[in-house]
Structure 1
Amino acid sequence: MSNNLEYRILLTKQAKQLLKAIKDRREQSLIFKRLEKLKSEPEKQGKALTNELKGYRSIRAVGQRYRIVYQINDQNITVIIVAIGRRKQGDKNDVYEVMRSLLSEISQEEE
């Protein structure tokens, strides 16, 4: 992919709800700035997730506190934001726990 290609950022319904749940305006603003950076070379940012979250990537936002979980669709030149939330290991509201429950809901709907 060439460097001057700009990706479109799309937020899923869940990601929009998670973003809306963040009440601190400064934190929201920092997250929006981080989302903007994903428009160029999203595959070089963040890290690839593993296990049941394979196929997704994650980047940090607002220091170390938040994670933005996304997928890259090169065919449509789109970055799909699927979850935004705090990283709280061991907490049911941890962004990766939220992602896992979203994915299990989706797979149950498809059955």
Structure 2
Amino acid sequence: MEYEIELTPLALEMLIGVKDQRHQKSLSDRIDKLKTDPEKQGKPLIDNLKGYRSVRAVGQRYRIIYKVELEKVVVLVVGVGLRKEGDKGDIYTLLQKLLSE
């Protein structure tokens, strides 16, 4: 079964904001791969991001954060960004803050 991919406005803005076109294309290609078996890809997140999953992209520098909505057969991409552990611009830090609002 193939899933439909949806990006939130924030995820789309983050993807468009990636300045390097090669990275942007790699991220888009990786998102497209989520159409098949998204619940078997990446890793489940914990704490404030429980219910979401994360896959690595572009040589492991970027993360794509998504939620699988089984009842709708949809993969909802909520964020795309650089992993910068300990930095306020880290994708996980940004999404925890935004999703808790």
TM range (shorter): over 0.9
Partners of 2:32 and 2:57 in 1: CA distance: 12
Partners of 1:21 and 1:102 in 2: CA distance: 17
Deviation at 1:104, TM superposition (A): 2.0
Identity of aligned residues (%): 51
Give the equivalent residue in structure 1 for 2:21: 25
2:48 and 2:100 in contact (8 A); partners too: no
Q: Which one-letter code corresponds to 2:10 in the other structure? A: Q
Q: Which one-letter code corresponds to 1:28 in the other structure? A: Q
| TM-score (norm. length: structure 1) | 0.89
Partners of 2:45 and 2:66 in 1: CA distance: 10
2:63 and 2:91 in contact (8 A); partners too: yes
Match for residue 95 of structure 2 among 96, 99, 104: 99
Match for residue 49 of structure 2 among 43, 47, 53: 53
Give the equivalent residue in structure 2 for 1:88: 84
Residues 43-98 of structure 1 show CA distances to partners (whole Å, capped at 9, x for unaligned) of 00000000111000000000110000000001110000000000000111100011
- Between structure 1 and structure 2, the one with the greater Rg is 1
**Deviation beyond 4 Å, 4+ runs, structure 1:** none
| TM-score (norm. length: structure 2) | 0.98
Q: Which one-letter code corresponds to 1:86 in the other structure? A: L
